[in-house]
Structure 1
Amino acid sequence: MKSHLYFIHGWGMNRAVWRPIAEKLSHLYDVTLLDLPGYGESIDNLPQTYNLDQISQQVAQNIQQPGIIIGWSLGGLVAQNIALKNKEKTDALITIASTPCFAQKNDWQGIQAHVLTDFQQQLAEDYNKTLERFLAIQAMGSRSARQDIKAFKALLLTYAPPAPAALSGGLQILAEADLTDKIAEIHQPTVRLYGKLDSLVPKAAIDPIHQLQPHSDKYIFNKASHAPFISHPEEFLQVLSQKLSGLT
């Protein structure tokens, strides 16, 4: 019987970003691609309050069988929350370019407040331009950044643009959500994958995260930024496959 894998995308994206990876893994695993509320096939499925707990609960309702939950960026934050609050559905956890707290605060390394504020303002003015900028950040570190951005766009355009409430609510979650005092309670096997050149989850945050959850495993893609599965797909698939084989 195949193990179940559940993939959760990041802010501004949808389940389609996982299709190339899912195709390569589907012969070994039962793969399910999940949309965050307000995105893709869940565009009209918005909670009354768009916060981390509400969207995590909605995503968890689509996990029919226990399995390995794999989340990227904002999706990784959701995956961590599901691992904490829906333990019975989480056999193991893999986060990609994610953290228990995205915002920089006190001694915690993360996204500076003005960056998220700028995104909020730009979002209100022009969604397409905001998405372009976000895609450019995610492709940083790739020798084929332009092609990476085109690949992102082609996949994303298979669905309608996200609901505005999901976009603004997601940025609010990135600015406010903080699971740093809780991830020690994640006792399921955990693997955390990072990009060394990531500007959203900086390298300086990696050791502090692992001090909070010392039993977790980690891998750093030395030449990747925030989206190693797009910028370095072969290396990413090789590493992910190795980590999955150790979890199943």
Structure 2
Amino acid sequence: GWSLGGQVALEWARLRPERVGALVLMSTTPSFVQRPDWPHAMAEATLRQFGDELHVAYRQTLQRFVTLQLQGSEHARDTLGSLRSHLFARGEPSPHALRDSLELLASTDLRSGISAISQPALVIAGDRDTLTPVAAGRYLASALPHASLVVIHGAAHTPFLSHPQAVIAALDAFANDK
């Protein structure tokens, strides 16, 4: 799972372990917002500001969010067009769905259940990811009992777009180790 999709995968693996053979978690964090004991995330006020701005300037806020996905990537300009085409392939997301997703990101903290997840896991993190910092990936790799970490240098939040060969190599190695 990528980003929020990784959080969904973690929760599914915890709740229905018999249905999940292995996990690949890319740009995933157990908690997307900072908490008193979790500094490896975005300030909650920043996330809430996105939700507030969706009401006022939907398209501009959406474009800003897309740009944040690439912030810090060494291939940001090259990847921006690809990201936009993937994200908007089926039209623009509904404002209601985006607000619900932001609320889910703000309220989710999966740290307490992670050690119970016993499936093999590959954690992929970009060392330039400002949305889900590499420290969050390191945490996941150490908290999950059977996890390995691959840090992709020069990648931000979308390593599958900016560094596809490195992601493919990590996936191949993980699949061959199982």
TM-score by length of 2: 0.91
Match of 1:231 in 2: 162
Q: Which runs of 5+ in 1 are unaligned?
A: 1-70
Q: 1:117 aligns with which of 38, 42, 48?
A: 48
Contact map agreement 1:140 1:224 (CA 8 A) in 2: no
More helix by share: 2
Match of 1:167 in 2: 98
1:140 aligns with 2:71: yes
- Amino acid corresponding to residue 239 of structure 1 in structure 2: A
Match of 2:60 in 1: 129
- Amino acid corresponding to residue 96 of structure 2 in structure 1: A
Match of 2:88 in 1: 157
Deviation at 1:74, TM superposition (A): 0.5
Q: 1:195 aligns with which of 104, 121, 126?
A: 126
Q: 1:102 aligns with which of 19, 28, 32?
A: 32
Distance in 2 between the 1:159 and 1:95 partners?
Answer: 24
Query: What does the per-residue CA deviation read over 1:56-77, in whole Å, with 9 as the maximum and x for residues that have no partner?
Result: xxxxxxxxxxxxxxx0001100
1:176 aligns with 2:107: yes
- Amino acid corresponding to residue 91 of structure 2 in structure 1: A
Secondary structure of 2:59's aligned partner: helix
Query: What does the per-residue CA deviation read over 1:118-150, in whole Å, with 9 as the maximum and x for residues that have no partner?
Result: 111121223322221122121123333123111
Secondary structure of 1:72's aligned partner: coil
**CA RMSD after TM alignment:** 1.6
Contact map agreement 1:73 1:97 (CA 8 A) in 2: yes
Range moving further from structure 2, 170-179 or 237-246: 237-246
Secondary structure of 1:91's aligned partner: coil
Secondary structure of 2:21's aligned partner: strand
More strand by share: 1
- Amino acid corresponding to residue 133 of structure 2 in structure 1: P
Deviation at 1:244, TM superposition (A): 2.2
Superposed, which structure 2 residues align to 1:213-232 within 5 Å? 213-232=144-163
Contact map agreement 1:93 1:189 (CA 8 A) in 2: yes
Q: 1:212 aligns with which of 114, 135, 143?
A: 143
Distance in 2 between the 1:145 and 1:111 partners?
Answer: 20
TM-score by length of 1: 0.67
Secondary structure of 2:73's aligned partner: coil
Which runs of 4 or more aligned residues in structure 1 lie more than 6 Å from their structure 2 counterparts after TM superposition?
Answer: none
Identify the structure with bigger relative contact order (alpha carbons < 8 Å, sequence gap 6+).
Answer: 2
Equivalent residue pairs, number: 177
Distance in 1 between the 2:139 and 2:145 partners?
Answer: 10
- Identity score, percent: 34
Match of 1:85 in 2: 15
Deviation at 1:211, TM superposition (A): 3.7
Secondary structure of 2:149's aligned partner: strand
